[in-house]
Each structure stands twice: as structure tokens, then as C-alpha cells.
């Protein structure tokens, strides 16, 4: 008989924060700590130069997830003056159907690095992730995961030393909007419209169906889906609709965002396509190309410099090559490090 998830996780009775001798005092972070945590993240990102900058809303999400009924936890380390110098958090997305996942994130002020705090925080995260996964009540394969930018070599070494392995590479790609657009006729029976709130739930359901055969993808709940909308630009988000006997069906979509914090760091403007998908019956006929070219055209009309997106380099459908043919070029990558349980 196969071991249960709890037996495989072997969650500890207690997840211990870094020891006092490392110089910081630790406590649970709450929603009221959002400003201090965002300030810490900003200090770190100025040095680390990540591919994507964190927004205040993302920090609020990280600290309010327990109140939204999600499994999550966060701790912060304070120096003698009461300044937040390090933080770590863990969360288990809702709705996982085939793999129970826990994601870990940590950040340490550059002046406090190199003292062993990162290793101690990762140990707490591993323990806490196992506790939270055990509480999901799921009996599935499990994954403890962290995203690390390719250029952050020290952080990658930290994860490798803790037993994490690089599982997937997500390449950031970018295309100048002013480059000539390829010919991309809309397939017969489809029409392309801007995203609107009335279409949103149908788009979410289409996304869950379109991505059910993608590695690592799990159904996106309504609560999690709402985070996509935070920087969504409706004019840059295109939906392919198919007429059926029962009405319009969402055949494909490109959800494109305006991440202005990234613009300031990059020195250019960019429309970033967060999600692009096509239902299986409409694949292979030019739907994805037509939708994405419609996005590029909208970006050009608004004077945006670049179109950007991320792609799983091991996607068996050849998505990486598809984007290259449309003029997208690689620009950095994020690696997914995991412990498979």
C-alpha cells in the first residue's frame, strides 16, 4: 500500500525560525506589516535586479492569504532598532487537483546576507511547507517550490544545497512592438474582442481547460484568478470568441498586463502577456497567432515599446519556437526549483 501524503511529508511538530545568535528577532507577519515588508523588498530588488518587480498589492496578498481562507504563513526578522531586515513566507494555492503545491519566498536585506540567515529561513520554510501541505487534506503527489531568477547564482546554490532541484526553466521573451507584424488572419468562425468583465469567468474556465495538459498547471480558483486582473489592461487583452449553437464560446485568450514597476526598472514600457491559451479544438489553425498579433497591434497603437511574456522552455507544443517566429527574443529566465514529495 502506497504511503499517504502525510507519511511522505513527515511534517515536524514545530517549524523553528532562525536562531537568536544570527542577530534578528522573529515574529509572524500580519497584514499591518505590509508597508515594512514592501520597503524591505524594494531595498533587496534594487540590488538583486529581478526580472519582475514586486508590487505593493502582491505584498498585501502574501500577508492576507490566511484571512482569505488559504493556507499560508509569513515571518519577519527584526534588528535591535525594530527594522525589518529579513522575511519569508509560504503559501499553498487553493484548488490543486493533481499535485499539492507549496511555494516559498524569502528576502534578506543585503547588509544582513552571508550570515546563515538564508539557510535558516529555508529550513523554516521547508518545515512549514510540510505542515501546511499536510493540512490540505489532499492525498496527492506534493511539491515544495521556489522561483529563482537565472542570474541569482547564490540563491540557486542555496536551494540546491537544501535538496531542491531545478525542475523547469521559464524564459522571459520580448519583442519590439515597432517591428513589422506578421500576417495573422482570424480563423473562420472566430472573432477577436477586447477582454471585458462579462467574459471573465468564461475566460477562467477556458484557461483551466486549456492548461490541464500543461506541466505543473493546476486549476485556478476564482480568488487566485482575480490576482491576474490587478494590472490587466483590457485594451491589450484579446479574447477569441467562437459562435456555437449555445452562444459564444471562448476559444482562446491573451491576458496582457501593464506592470509599471517593471517599466521603471527596465527603462522601457512593456505590455506583458501573463496568460495565453487556446482550447484544444481550436489549436493548429492560427488562433494563438491571431490573438497575439491583435495584442501587438494594440500595444503599438498605445505607443508601448515592447511586448513581453514568459514561456516554459520544455513545453512540448513548441511554444518557444512559436514566439521566436513572431519576433520574440529571449531576455533572462526564471528557474523553478522543487522538492518532489
Using the predicted structure, report yes or no on whether residue 65 has a pLDDT greater than 70: no
Cell of 201: 469567468
- Give the Cα separation of 63 and 37 in Å (integer): 9
The winner for highest mean pLDDT among 66-70, 131-135, 241-245 is 131-135
Q: Which CATH architecture has domain 171-334?
A: 3-Layer(aba) Sandwich (3.40)
Q: What are the two backbone dihedrals, phi and then psi, of residue 138, each rounded to the nearest 5 degrees?
A: -85, 150
Judged by DSSP in three states, 186 sits in coil
Average pLDDT over residues 239-267: 92
For the chain, domain boundaries: 5-163, 171-334
Q: Which CATH architecture has domain 5-163?
A: 3-Layer(aba) Sandwich (3.40)
Closest CA to 167 of 140, 149, 147: 147
Residue 168: its H or E element: strand 165-176
Judged by DSSP in three states, 10 sits in coil
Q: What is the DSSP letter of 125?
A: H
Matching fold, domains 5-163 and 171-334 = yes
Closest CA to 255 of 285, 292, 218: 292
pLDDT tens column, 265-290: 889 999 999 999 999 999 989 999 99
Q: What pLDDT was estimated at residue 72?
A: 86
Average pLDDT over residues 85-106: 93
- 6 in Cβ contact with 134 (< 8 Å): yes
Using the predicted structure, report yes or no on whether residue 260 has a pLDDT greater than 60: yes
pLDDT band at 70 (very low <50, low <70, confident <90, very high): low
- Give the Cα separation of 324 and 174 in Å (integer): 10
Q: Which residue has the cell 491576458?
A: 255
Q: What are the two backbone dihedrals, phi and then psi, of residue 156, each rounded to the nearest 5 degrees?
A: -65, -40
Q: What are the Cα distances from residue 5, in Å, to 9, 139, 339?
A: 6, 5, 14
Sheet holding 25-28, edge to edge: 25-28, 71-78, 84-92, 100-108, 142-149, 329-340, 165-176, 306-312, 270-278, 247-258, 238-244, 190-194
Judged by DSSP in three states, 211 sits in coil
Buried b / exposed e over 121-152, threshold 16 CB at 10 Å, is bbebbbbbbbbbbbebebeeebbbbbbbbbeb
Closest CA to 209 of 275, 274, 290: 275
- 42 in Cβ contact with 86 (< 8 Å): no
The residues pairing with 179 across neighbouring beta strands, listed in sequence order, are: none
Per cent of the chain over pLDDT 90 is 79
Q: What pLDDT was estimated at residue 226?
A: 81
Per cent of the chain over pLDDT 70 is 98
pLDDT tens column, 177-205: 999 999 999 999 999 999 999 999 999 99
pTM of the model: 0.91
Amino acid at each position: 500500500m502506497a504511503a499517504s501524503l502525510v507519511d511522505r511529508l513527515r511534517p515536524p511538530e514545530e517549524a523553528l525560525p532562525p536562531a537568536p545568535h544570527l542577530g534578528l528577532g522573529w515574529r509572524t507577519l500580519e497584514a499591518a506589516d505590509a508597508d515594512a515588508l514592501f520597503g524591505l523588498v524594494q531595498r533587496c530588488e534594487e540590488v538583486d535586479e529581478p526580472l519582475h518587480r514586486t508590487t505593493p498589492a502582491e505584498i498585501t496578498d502574501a500577508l492576507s492569504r490566511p484571512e482569505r481562507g488559504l493556507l499560508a504563513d509569513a515571518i519577519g526578522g527584526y534588528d535591535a532598532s525594530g527594522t525589518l531586515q529579513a522575511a519569508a513566507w509560504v503559501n499553498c494555492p487553493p484548488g490543486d487537483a493533481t499535485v499539492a503545491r507549496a511555494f516559498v519566498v524569502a528576502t534578506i536585506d543585503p547588509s544582513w546576507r552571508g550570515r546563515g540567515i538564508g539557510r535558516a529561513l529555508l529550513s523554516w520554510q521547508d518545515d512549514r511547507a510540510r505542515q501546511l501541505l499536510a493540512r490540505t487534506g489532499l492525498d496527492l503527489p506534493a511539491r515544495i517550490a521556489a522561483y529563482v531568477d537565472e542570474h541569482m547564482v547564490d540563491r540557486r546554490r542555496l536551494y540546491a544545497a537544501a535538496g531542491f532541484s531545478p525542475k523547469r526553466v521559464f524564459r522571459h521573451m520580448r519583442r519590439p512592438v515597432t517591428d513589422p507584424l506578421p500576417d495573422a488572419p482570424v480563423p473562420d468562425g472566430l472573432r477577436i474582442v477586447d477582454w471585458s468583465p462579462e467574459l471573465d469567468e468564461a475566460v477562467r474556465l477556458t484557461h483551466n481547460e486549456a492548461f490541464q495538459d500543461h506541466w505543473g498547471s493546476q486549476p485556478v480558483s476564482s480568488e487566485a484568478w482575480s490576482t491576474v486582473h490587478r494590472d490587466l489592461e483590457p485594451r491589450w487583452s484579446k479574447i477569441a470568441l467562437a459562435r456555437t449553437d449555445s452562444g459564444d464560446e471562448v476559444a482562446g485568450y491573451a491576458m496582457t498586463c501593464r506592470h509599471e514597476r517593471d517599466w521603471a526598472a527596465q527603462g522601457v514600457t512593456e505590455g506583458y502577456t501573463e496568460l495565453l491559451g487556446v482550447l484544444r479544438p481550436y489549436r493548429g489553425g492560427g488562433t494563438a497567432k491571431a490573438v497575439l498579433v491583435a495584442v501587438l497591434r494594440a500595444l503599438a497603437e498605445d505607443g508601448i515599446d515592447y511586448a513581453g511574456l514568459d514561456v516554459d522552455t520544455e513545453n512540448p507544443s513548441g511554444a518557444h519556437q512559436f514566439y521566436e517566429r513572431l519576433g520574440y527574443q529571449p531576455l533572462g529566465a526564471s528557474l523553478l526549483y522543487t522538492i518532489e514529495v
